[in-house]
Amino acid sequence: MWEVVLAQAKDAVPEGATEPAAQSPFGSMLPFFVLLFVIMYFLMIRPQQKRDKERREMLTKVAKGDEVVTSGGLCGTVIALSEKTVVLRVTDDEPGVKIEFLRSAIAQITSRRSQD
């Protein structure tokens, strides 16, 4: 039975015609992978880069007198700054409790110092 099917398939190809070349599976999948990368870029990579840029700008704008919240949830007022660290006063009592943090530990600025 299979000989008949093969013979009919062989007869279906005209005499001087060549059989179509097999297409590479990678070539047909390439547009899919390009589209997948573009979607991932706009949904994942680009928003993350934007958040990172906003965070870097926020950390550079920290100044003395700003009230901040650390990533650990500690609230305090900035009393001293260096390039890599921040000293926070966490109580209003005299002399007050002062704790030194890395600048990157600041999660948000809750209020800015007054512009006198």
pLDDT tens digit sequence for 14-47: 655 565 656 677 778 888 999 999 999 999 999 9
Instruction: Quote the pLDDT of residue 24.
Output: 73
The count of structural domains within the chain is 2
68 and 103 assigned to the same domain? yes
- Could you read off the pLDDT of 36-81 as tens digits, one per residue? 999 999 999 999 999 999 999 999 999 999 999 999 999 999 999 9
55 and 70 assigned to the same domain? no
CB count, 10 Å around CB of 62?
15
68 and 107 assigned to the same domain? yes
Query: Which residue in 87, 76, 80 sits closest to 109, CA to CA?
Result: 76
50 and 79 assigned to the same domain? no
Q: How many residues does the chain have?
A: 116
- Report whether pLDDT(5) > 80: no
Q: Which domain holds residue 70?
A: 63-111
